Structure 1
């Protein structure tokens, strides 16, 4: 049964009681329950109070029109999104500090009112209403509901829950303002406009759907005073969440990658858990497919030491500060000790206000999470995701990940058949991942960005042509085995087999084609090249390991191109430069690359 079906089967009186009484059923106490707040993890309290004290010494972030307009003027998004995010982060920190210590209440109120006074909560990159008018100023009477609006309304809702009595005493009237802004900016547009692309009514669903609708759900439970409107909001959010889960592949894969998994499937599960809490377990969504598979995705994609198999716009080394308590509870609900153990392996990661106020508050009062013992990191020997078309195989410090798929995936890169080779957890032949987003990132000019082009992935140039975007450009005739994947690349010319040879501790990638085609093999390298000669290149990886790439010496040394990394996000992962090895395979009808440890010393 779908989530929507389960929700409909909950007795109406249980739904009404749960929705109307959510504030007392979610398991998060208000500031008046000093016993509960004084029992919060001392290390987390110290960290939040130190952060709040540091914030006090700084001016509040300012969101100004000139920064907003830069999206249209020169394509820059971060000039506005940075201060807007910092205002939310600082307000969340002040709310937590006020609940933990009784101090910082004025800072929390100041931040909440500043959020209410913003002309828009929508980020410029998403403000299509203004764009359609040929303007750069958002219209408060025609608000666009996007990720920024969702993040802001959830902050207001959870702040109201925990600080409500204190706000009424200190700043009477603020809570009424919070409700007004939530109603005008989010609730009314959500109910009256069903054209939002993130609803997925056209069948195209991505992480916006659970991210936005999960936040609308929590905000409706905590801020909407009218019972009938509250039920309408919750029912609409449940319908959207159910549609998103129904669209997930049965294998539990996420075509947006591990980093976006936290803002896709994880957001979904957080929302489902809220519904389960307010119905006292009557919803019981945990048997819905494919929740059990989705919970295993982070472990299946982990390389170790903070590195992950990345696809599309996913970073290979994302922020380790994730809400691991969410995954831990998910594993507990499923009764899956592998999932809970993987989450517990990250038990020491701080619970940061930057994660979002709701996530932090739920985590603070998850007693089982705080009592969980840290676990060693255990990774599966091999994973094949048949719907997502992704193979990951590991052996003795070597990891091979190879993808099929198509070139119209969410956050797509033109990378069908590309692979990642990692040694001691660290990628050497890499997928560069997400660059800093600008105005062209999700525009018709998207593929002008070098990092999304197939020429900067580990796939060949075929007859002088790169892979093109579009769902018709896909892998064909896939033959998966435990340690290898064979597939035909888009265009039907090249047949590729990528394999992990456990006996010889090597990764081998073999391409074959019919005579008469010009093939140039491309390999994107992170690390420092050494000993470049015909048939061989030694690379010192970012971890210091020595890795040998070898091929038929008759093809020569190939061309090794250095490229400066001119993007802050990419540089934070890969350093100031990467290299691309291009080998002209003209003449033969096959090519093989071997990746192994270099056992000698430099």
Structure 2
């Protein structure tokens, strides 16, 4: 074999093993038979004290004991709410999810707080209310949200609970996990009252979670038969699997059955990890805690159940997924919020510290301490998540002794997701994206950007309002916040971007030495736009951001329009310069006054989800080209004003 053939062979082998090394981390770590020998049975993996060990609980909870008790006391006289039939029906009738979700979540918040309070105090004061909460949940026909029921084969919307069908969704699995923890900690106390209480929990968790997980195929598992159609795996996968795993670990003591369920879950979570491209969470930092964060929950539980035999926290891919949460953080509570995520996200410092410790990320641990310093009122309690709350307690002292540091990385580049974040010492930060228009929680925003001055957004991604039936239905892109018209991208020949996987960026590049991000966004528009190429580039320099658009059209239909979303105080009076002041930060958008005519559109906000971030209004600045051109170039500068 000659030298060139040997080299080619080595390259192919390298590619093969590199690809293989990034897939099926969990299932490849052991056989089902080997897993059977690894399992720590009969809940001996639980690292928390028995309910009766008061001294150990006092030590574990420390200064958090009082706040947990106080949180629980709020619910001592709580009236458990009935989720009515018409509450479910309202989703089909009006698209309103909250009618059903509000009483359901209020109940789950109550039982979660009561469980933690009783564990903290240990005097039995909260047990009757916990029993009532358990009974209330067990009496429900379904734990699934109205919005999460399937649509039947007849295309009739079936958002009503069916007693013959036990679906596993985000919150049904979470309720199962919460009741499983109640069973584990309080079984002896329940039995003193009436053994039927514990028996009922066992019956319901088995019927609603354990049996259907093994006997039904759900799209979110991404297991056969869904693998044939290669489903799009999203945060449902780790979220549901982490909850289901808790149910099995706490309620199933048949070793053979437990091993079979755990291995199935390992194969399923592998699908989520395999789907991840480069660590970026395309659902945004606000979803990170229930995407990559739920993957951490799952992996942490699996590590305990196997006495550390199965642990993949040393994989660089897992570390990249973990560190996204701080790399997408700008400071002062602001985050990069492409897709449905909010522009503000506090993040839970205890949870972030724990994940950071697991993947040996000093940056994450110091960032967690920074978040704790920024929000000292943050407690270990985690709504409707007993496992996270108790795990938070185990790392509380370590977090408190960690030096708070948050240094924005100079750049973060995700070449497959096509996210690029750049910052400089002058307090400027830009996030830009390529991607495609069928990402998880997608907005039509290929080529868009967000620009920050001193950790304050100036040119923004508005985010999304409250979820309704329309949000995840065929009318999603009739919602203005989803449309490219209301993102920082052009309207080409009078045409906005289209939804769908084929509408995407091409030739996306990042030149780190020059801090230039470049992408061709022409393929994000339909044929009606008659655009052959539209290369947009962002270059971050010392004093601002340089934006260039170089385009070529096959025909001229309408004048191009370049949009910029912003908030605060906007002044468009001076031609060629637009001044923006937001939360004490100042910037100036400079454009060629001979090329463009500016207009300013005020958009009033009414949804609380948006007003909590931006106040009661945002603005769209539209720069409409004064001339029609088949080919040309536009240049814009955004300057920081001291």
With the shorter chain as reference, the TM-score category is over 0.9
Gaps of 5+ in 1: none
Q: Secondary structure at the match of 1:286?
A: coil
Matched, 1:193 2:216: yes
Q: Greater CA deviation, 107-116 or 167-176?
A: 167-176
Distance (whole Å) between structure 2 residues aligned to residue 136 and residue 390 of structure 1: 36
Give the CA deviation at 1:371. 4.6
Aligned to 1:406: 436
Number of corresponding residues = 590
The 8 Å contact of residues 26 and 270 in structure 2, kept in 1 or not, is answered as yes
Aligned to 1:376: 405
Q: Secondary structure at the match of 1:24?
A: coil
Matched, 1:493 2:522: no
Give the CA deviation at 1:530. 2.9
Question: Kindly tell me: are residues 370 and 497 of structure 1, through their superposed partners in 2, closer, same or farther at Cα, counting changes over 3 Å?
Answer: closer
Of 564, 574, 581, 2:604 maps to 564
The 8 Å contact of residues 148 and 159 in structure 2, kept in 1 or not, is answered as no
Q: Secondary structure at the match of 1:498?
A: strand
The within-5 A match list for 1:325-364 is: 325-347=350-372, 348=376, 349-354=378-383, 356-364=385-393
The within-5 A match list for 1:424-439 is: 424-439=454-469
Of 194, 197, 202, 1:179 maps to 202
Matched, 1:218 2:246: yes
Distance (whole Å) between structure 1 residues aligned to residue 382 and residue 356 of structure 2: 23
The 8 Å contact of residues 328 and 339 in structure 1, kept in 2 or not, is answered as yes
Aligned to 2:28: 5
Question: CA offsets per residue over residues 152-201 of structure 1, 9 Å max, x none?
Answer: 11111122222232222234221211111111112221111124344363
Distance (whole Å) between structure 2 residues aligned to residue 303 and residue 445 of structure 1: 32
Of 171, 177, 196, 1:148 maps to 171
Aligned to 1:520: 561
The 8 Å contact of residues 99 and 163 in structure 1, kept in 2 or not, is answered as no
Q: Greater CA deviation, 353-362 or 465-474?
A: 353-362
Matched, 1:530 2:567: no
Distance (whole Å) between structure 1 residues aligned to residue 387 and residue 194 of structure 2: 22
Distance (whole Å) between structure 1 residues aligned to residue 152 and residue 606 of structure 2: 31
Q: Greater CA deviation, 444-453 or 527-536?
A: 527-536
Aligned to 2:144: 122
Give the CA deviation at 1:339. 2.2
Of 113, 126, 141, 1:104 maps to 126
Question: CA offsets per residue over residues 529-549 of structure 1, 9 Å max, x none?
Answer: 1353311221121x2222212
Q: Greater CA deviation, 508-517 or 460-469?
A: 508-517
The within-5 A match list for 1:545-560 is: 545-555=585-595, 557-560=597-600
Distance (whole Å) between structure 1 residues aligned to residue 397 and residue 63 of structure 2: 17
The 8 Å contact of residues 38 and 309 in structure 2, kept in 1 or not, is answered as no
The 8 Å contact of residues 585 and 591 in structure 1, kept in 2 or not, is answered as no
Question: Kindly tell me: are residues 403 and 81 of structure 1, through their superposed partners in 2, closer, same or farther at Cα, counting changes over 3 Å?
Answer: same
Matched, 1:80 2:100: yes
The 8 Å contact of residues 597 and 624 in structure 2, kept in 1 or not, is answered as no
Q: Greater CA deviation, 425-434 or 400-409?
A: 425-434
The 8 Å contact of residues 130 and 138 in structure 1, kept in 2 or not, is answered as no
The 8 Å contact of residues 115 and 130 in structure 2, kept in 1 or not, is answered as yes
Of 391, 397, 406, 2:420 maps to 391
Q: Secondary structure at the match of 2:313?
A: helix
Aligned to 1:308: 335
Distance (whole Å) between structure 2 residues aligned to residue 10 and residue 187 of structure 1: 21
The 8 Å contact of residues 498 and 510 in structure 1, kept in 2 or not, is answered as yes
Off by >4 Å, runs of 4+ in structure 1: 129-136
Gaps of 5+ in 2: 1-20, 524-531
Aligned to 1:473: 503
The within-5 A match list for 1:261-276 is: 261-276=288-303
Using the size of structure 2 for normalisation, the TM-score is 0.88
Q: Secondary structure at the match of 1:164?
A: helix
Q: Secondary structure at the match of 1:189?
A: helix
The within-5 A match list for 1:435-454 is: 435-454=465-484
Aligned to 2:113: 93
Distance (whole Å) between structure 2 residues aligned to residue 289 and residue 193 of structure 1: 33
Q: Secondary structure at the match of 1:378?
A: coil
The 8 Å contact of residues 492 and 561 in structure 2, kept in 1 or not, is answered as yes
Distance (whole Å) between structure 1 residues aligned to residue 371 and residue 193 of structure 2: 39
Give the CA deviation at 1:10. 8.1
Question: Kindly tell me: are residues 44 and 367 of structure 1, through their superposed partners in 2, closer, same or farther at Cα, counting changes over 3 Å?
Answer: closer
The 8 Å contact of residues 253 and 297 in structure 1, kept in 2 or not, is answered as yes
Q: Greater CA deviation, 583-592 or 365-374?
A: 365-374
Aligned-residue Cα RMSD (Å) equals 2.1
